[in-house]
Amino acid sequence: MHDPNDPRDGAELPPTEPFTTVPDAVEAGPAPARAAAAPASLASRAWGGVLTSIRTHPSTWLVAAVACAFVVIGAGAFAAGASAAPEQPAALTAPAPSSHSASATPSASATPTPSATPTPTVTPRPTANPAAPAEALKTCSVAAEAADGRLGTLEAQVMDAKTGEVLFDRNGTTPAPTASIMKTITAAGALAALGSETKIATTVVKGAKPGQVVLVGGGDPTLSRGNGSWFQGAPTLTDLAAQVKAAWNADPANAGQPITEVVTDASLFGGPMWQSSWDEQEERVNQGSTAYIAALMVDGDKQDPTKLESPRGTDPVGTAGQAFAQALGGNVTVSSGTAPSGAKQLGVVYSQPVSTLLNEALENSDNTVMEMLARLTAIKEGAGNTFTAIDAGEKAALKTLGVDTTGLTIVDGSGLSADNRVPPSFFTKFMIKVLNRESGLGLIYDSLPVAGQTGTLAAQYGRFQGDSAVAAGHVHAKTGWIVGGYTLAGIIDAKDGTELTFAIYALGNVGDSAKSAIDSLAAAIYTCGGNLSNS
C-alpha cells in the first residue's frame, strides 16, 4: 500500500550487487613441487589436503560451504530469470573474455569466462499521486446528551457557520412542528416585505353620516388606551382622540355637530380570527399568550395591559371601539363598518418601527405581535389577508432574501400550530444568513434571547443552569414550546471560537424537563465546538 510518508516509496531501487565467487582453498607448500606433480597424483594429494584442512579448520570450511551454497542458489535463480527473459536481438555480442582464469589450476585448454555478470536494469516503480490531506478526525461526542430520554424523539442538526459542514445530525432533514422558533422566519419575512423602519398606522377618518367617525385598524397590536402598557412607546387612543377632536372642531362643516358615533373598520384582515389548529383554551385563556387576530385591537386585547401575558377577550374590535369612544368623551355609540372611499383623515398614530416590534416579540416570544406581522407580510406580498395566505406570503418574502423554502409548510406566524413543518436543517442554513447579517437579518441576531441572561432564555425561566451554565452568554437562540414539542434554534459561539448554527427539536410525549435536556445538549455542543463528532 502506498505510504506518502515513506521516503522509499516510489524511489528507484539500488542496483543488485553482483554475486562474488569464494576462491578454492589450497594446501600450503612450495609452489614448484605442486607444479611438477603428475595430474593423478596432484588430484590425490589435493583431496587429501582438503580432508586434512577440514579436520584442522572445521569452522572455516563451514563458512565456505554456506557461501558456496548461496552462490549455487543465486546462480540458479539468475539462470532461471535469464531463461524467462525476452530473446535478445541478434546484433548484440557477448562480453569480451576476462584476462583471469576461473580455475586456480593453469590450463591451456581452460575457457575464459566473463569478468562479471551484467547487472539487470531495474525499472523504477511508478510514483502515485500524492493523497489529498485528510481532514482532522472529530473526536468530541455529545452522544450521551443526545440520548437523554427527556428529549423524546430528537431531531437536531449542527453546522459550522464558516465552512457549512454539518458536524452533527439526528433526523435533521425531517420536517416537523417548529413551535416558536417559527418567529425567526416570520421576522425575516417582515423585514423583507415591510422594512425595518415601517410603522403601523391606526387612523380615524370622517364617516359618511353626520357626527360619525371611523376608527380604521392597520394591524397594530400595541395600540394602547394610554393608562399603562407592556409595550414601550406604544401609540395611545388618548393621543388619537385629541387629534380627532381638534380636527373635528376646526372644520366649519361640523359646526354645532358633535361626534356621536364611532364606526370600527377592521377590514384589513379577513377571517377567521382564530387558527383552527390552535388550542384556544390553553393559549387565549390559560396562558393568555394569544389574542384573536384582528386588524384593530387595543393593548393586545389583554385583561391586564401591563403584563406580557394575560387572558384575552373574544371581541378585540368591539373592545377597541368602546375604548376609543370613552377617550372621545360624551354620548358616543359604537358600530362596525368600513371607511368611505376618500374620506378626510382626522387623526393618526403610529406604532414603533418594525425593528422595535420584532426585537420585543423575539426576545419575549410574543405570539400576537408575530401573527399581526405575518398577516401584514402576506398582504404586502399580495398573497391575501387570511391565515391561509401566510404560507405564500412568507415564502415570497423569503425568496427575495435568497432563502430556500422548498418543502416548508407555514401555517401561522407564531409557530403555535402543530401543522407547521420545517426541518432543523432549514434553520442551520438560515441562521448563517442571520449571523452574517445578510439583507438586514442581523436585527434577528440582536433580538435573540441569550442563554442564562435575556428573554425566554433568562435564568428566571430556569434556562442554562447547573452544568449547562458553562454555555451561558454563548448561545443566542429562539425558544419554542407547544403541546408535543420543545425547540431551540440559533447560534453558538463555541468554546474554541468556532461559530455554530443549530436547531434542536424534542418531540412527542415530552414534558417541561425537555428544556433542561435541550440546554444540556446545547452546552455540550458549545464545549465541543469545531471538534464536534457526529458519533
Q: What is the pLDDT of residues 376-395, one digit of tens each?
A: 999 999 999 999 999 999 99
Contact (Cβ atoms closer than 8 angstroms) between residue 197 and residue 470 = no
Examine the pLDDT at 68 and tell me if it is beyond 80: no
Q: According to the model, what pLDDT value does residue 93 have?
A: 32
**pLDDT tens digits, one per residue of 15-61:** 333 333 333 333 333 333 333 333 333 333 333 443 344 444 444 43
Instruction: Spell out a b/e string for 333-352, using b for 16 or more CB atoms within 10 Å of the CB, else e.
Output: ebeeeebbeebeebbbbebb
SS3 category, 240: helix
What mean pLDDT do residues 6-11 have? 36
Q: Measure the CA–CA gap between 535 and 522, rounded to whole angstroms.
A: 16
**Residue of 475 and 99 predicted with greater confidence:** 475
What pLDDT was estimated at residue 288? 97
Angle between helices 354-364 and 182-193 (to 10 degrees): 180
444 within 8 A of 427, measured Cβ to Cβ: no
d(CA 412, CA 432): 23
Band of pLDDT at residue 134, cut at 50, 70 and 90:
low
Query: What pTM does this model have?
Result: 0.75
Most confident of 96-110, 117-131, 141-155: 141-155
Which of 91-100, 126-135, 223-232, 516-525 ranks highest by mean pLDDT? 516-525
For residue 105, is pLDDT > 70? no
Query: Strands 499-507, 485-493: parallel, antiparallel or unpaired by DSSP?
Result: antiparallel
Kind of pairing between the strands at 212-216 and 201-206:
antiparallel
Of 100-104, 148-152, 268-272, give the lowest mean pLDDT range.
Answer: 100-104
Q: Exposed, middle or buried, 294 (CB in 10 Å: 0-12/13-18/19+)?
A: buried
387-442 per-position pLDDT tens digit: 999 999 999 999 999 999 999 999 999 999 999 999 999 999 999 999 999 999 99
Which domains occur in the chain, in start order?
A: 1-76+114-124 (no CATH), 143-194+382-531 (3.40.710.10), 201-352 (no CATH)
Confidence at residue 330, expressed as pLDDT on a 0 to 100 scale: 85
* Mean pLDDT, range 511-526, rounded to an integer: 98
DSSP string, 128-139: PPPPPPPPPPP-
Residue pair 414/367 in contact by the 8 Å Cβ criterion: yes
